[in-house]
């Protein structure tokens, strides 16, 4: 006897199971869903400026995708495993095979692997799945502002985020340092003096702006299977059932 129908169902089950993964730990952060947790796609990237007003270096945004594999400490001039947003730059990353969801508690749900020093301030916003343009600002170290460094974020704490919501995009916006001529100090800094020429920023090297080397959804679910794929699975299963009935007849 040929078990066509059970075999078809097994194939469908295997396809569904492929979306799950073994838990993993990356830089000391536990990701229960494993490698599926990390951003898959660069939605948009607008580099900011670097020292002297030019475009910031290290602008390969694809370096922020996948499992975070390179830390923030690289040799001067090297762009290994990270993208520098530049002063005032913005980066939007997307999740294709999974969705970021609220966990319902105060534990971190989203991990932004960010290098750089504490002078590099940035914002993080999340966008809902389904193409809506609504963005929700996440709560950081100082209100909505995050400081440089790898950061775990509880998205449940963000205004407007409710249980049952799902998010497929994350926007990171660097807050540019600039000189406040009234105080003589740099804004978005920690008391740094402007210097002799208040029209220019201090030297930032190749790491102008916040450096992103990974983005992972700790609280996540697999993305729904697109309707055509789901229909194909159903058709395969039904085709197996018809074949089995013919053989038995």
| Angle at CA of residue 148, ends 124 and 38, nearest 5° | 55
Cβ atoms of 23 and 31 closer than 8 Å: yes
The tens digit of pLDDT for each residue in 50-72 reads 755 566 778 899 999 998 875 55
| Assigned domain for 51 exists | yes
| Assigned domain for 247 exists | no
Q: Which residue has the tokens 């920690």?
A: 190
User: pLDDT band for position 141 (50/70/90)?
Assistant: low
Both tokens assigned to 102: 């609220």
| Confidence check: pLDDT of 157 > 90 | yes
What is residue 223's DSSP assignment?
P
Instruction: Give the model's pLDDT for residue 16.
Output: 39
| Assigned domain for 229 exists | no
Q: Which domain holds residue 60?
A: 24-223
What is residue 200's DSSP assignment?
S
Instruction: Give the model's pLDDT for residue 8.
Output: 41
| Assigned domain for 105 exists | yes
| Assigned domain for 3 exists | no
Lowest-pLDDT range of 95-104, 138-147, 185-194, 206-215: 185-194
| Assigned domain for 13 exists | no
| Assigned domain for 171 exists | yes
Please state, in angstroms and rounded to a whole number, the distance separating the CA atoms of residues 211 and 149: 9
Taking the CA atoms of 69, 71, 76 and 81 in sequence, report the sign of the dihedral they define. positive
Cβ atoms of 188 and 119 closer than 8 Å: yes
The tens digit of pLDDT for each residue in 14-55 reads 443 444 458 889 988 999 999 999 999 999 999 887 755 566
Residue whose C-alpha is closest to residue 205's, from 34, 107, 78 = 78
- Structural domains of the chain, count: 1
Please state, in angstroms and rounded to a whole number, the distance separating the CA atoms of residues 65 and 165: 23
- Predicted TM-score of the model (pTM): 0.75
- pLDDT mean over 103-117: 89
| Assigned domain for 239 exists | no
The CATH number given to whatever domain includes residue 177 is 2.60.120.260
Please state, in angstroms and rounded to a whole number, the distance separating the CA atoms of residues 8 and 239: 8
């Amino acid at each position: 006897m040929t078990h066509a129908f059970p075999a078809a169902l097994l194939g469908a089950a295997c396809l569904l199971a492929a979306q799950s993964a073994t838990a993993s730990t990356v830089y000391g952060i536990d990701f229960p869903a494993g490698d599926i947790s990390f951003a898959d796609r660069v939605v948009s990237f607008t580099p900011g400026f670097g020292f002297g007003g030019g475009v910031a270096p290290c602008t390969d945004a694809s370096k922020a995708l996948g499992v975070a594999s390179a830390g923030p400490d690289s040799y001067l001039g090297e762009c290994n495993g990270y993208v520098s947003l530049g002063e005032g730059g913005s980066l939007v990353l997307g999740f294709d095979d999974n969705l970021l969801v609220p966990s319902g508690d105060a534990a971190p749900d989203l991990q932004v692997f960010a290098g750089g020093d504490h002078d590099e301030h940035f914002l993080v916003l999340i966008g809902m799945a389904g193409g809506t343009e609504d963005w929700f600002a996440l709560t950081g170290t100082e209100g909505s502002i995050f400081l440089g460094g790898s950061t775990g974020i509880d998205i449940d704490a963000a205004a407007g985020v409710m249980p049952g919501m799902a998010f497929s995009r994350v926007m990171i916006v660097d807050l540019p340092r600039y000189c406040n001529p009234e105080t003589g100090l740099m804004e978005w800094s920690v008391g740094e003096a402007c210097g002799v020429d208040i029209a220019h920023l201090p030297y930032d090297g190749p790491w102008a702006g916040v450096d992103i080397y990974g983005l992972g959804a700790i609280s996540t679910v697999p993305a729904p299977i697109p309707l055509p794929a789901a229909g194909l699975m159903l058709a395969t299963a039904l085709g197996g059932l018809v074949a089995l009935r013919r053989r038995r007849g």
